[in-house]
């Protein structure tokens, strides 16, 4: 579904991504782990078209996306749940969600948007309860659910999520990861950037480890969980046999 080859990107003269190559197949959850500053957010922003790559290839659903605008990438079926949620604080929950469905409305019309709105309320019942509440008054966990629901309103084929568990209580994190699992069960594909490496690898099919803009380890999630170097660097403590 997504293929990235020899991707270089950065900001001005600062080269952040260095010959990144990865792939995400349909129906997978693939996670990208790494320390702060490794380039994970830059990678997602480059794939979605918010950061311009300097060289390499980005192919999504057999379409060359290397120079596409973010609007066109989203229209092609890729969505991003950004780091820090970035909900529209002065708009209601429902207004945020409907705004996320603007691509779907252009493609399928208003009935499709209303149907998808109902699906998001099924995925996130608390958003139905809060639908007339201003987004800025929600808790951190509720705002994260809103950010996820807003991205899903476009019915994307690939959902990219940037640090969805940041700053959330453990019970809320559990709920967020249950929803990510459900997305795969419903046929969605997920590229997950996550600081909670153990939780991410527990639900992922495969993973990549990014360090200073380069992929240094990749493989099945179980193999990464068992890798002692990954355990020491990213999982908090070495696994006890």
Report the candidate in 38, 76, 85 with the shortest Cα–Cα distance to residue 58: 76
Q: Which residues of the chain, if any, have pLDDT below 50?
A: 237-241
pLDDT at 121: 97
What's the rounded Cα separation, in Å, for the pair 45 and 51? 6
Same domain, 72 and 98: no
- Number of structural domains (the chain) is 2
> Dihedral angle at the C-alpha atoms of 207, 212, 215, 219, nearest 10 degrees?
-30
Last residue of a domain, one of 100, 130, 155: 155
Report the candidate in 51, 53, 157, 138 with the shortest Cα–Cα distance to residue 96: 138
The pTM for the full model equals: 0.91
Tokens of 145: 């659910």
Domain-embedded: residue 145: yes
Q: Which residues of 123-148 are buried (b: 16+ CB within 10 A; e: fewer)?
A: bbebbeebeeebbeebeebbbbbbbb
Last residue of a domain, one of 130, 155, 180: 155
pLDDT at 236: 64
């Amino acid at each position: 579904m997504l293929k990235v080859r020899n991707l270089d990107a950065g900001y001005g003269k600062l080269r952040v991504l260095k010959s990144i190559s990865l792939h995400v197949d349909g129906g997978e959850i693939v996670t990208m782990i790494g320390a702060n500053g490794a380039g994970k957010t830059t990678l997602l922003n480059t794939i979605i078209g918010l950061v311009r790559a300097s060289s390499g290839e980005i192919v999504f659903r057999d379409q060359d996306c290397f120079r596409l605008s973010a609007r066109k990438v989203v229209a092609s079926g890729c969505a991003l749940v950004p780091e820090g949620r970035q909900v529209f604080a002065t708009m209601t929950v429902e207004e945020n969600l409907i705004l996320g469905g603007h691509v779907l409305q252009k493609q399928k019309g208003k009935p499709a948007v209303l149907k998808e709105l109902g699906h998001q309320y099924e995925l996130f019942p608390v958003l139905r309860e809060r639908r007339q509440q201003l987004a800025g008054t929600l808790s951190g966990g509720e705002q994260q659910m809103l950010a996820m629901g807003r991205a899903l309103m476009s019915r994307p084929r690939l959902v990219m999520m940037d640090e969805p568990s940041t700053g959330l209580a453990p019970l809320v994190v559990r709920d967020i990861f249950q929803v990510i699992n459900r997305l795969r069960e419903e046929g969605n594909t997920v590229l997950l950037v996550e600081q909670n490496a153990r939780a991410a690898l527990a639900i992922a099919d495969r993973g990549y480890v990014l360090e200073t803009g380069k992929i240094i380890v990749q493989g099945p999630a179980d193999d990464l969980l068992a890798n002692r170097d990954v355990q020491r660097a990213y999982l908090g403590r070495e696994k006890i046999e």
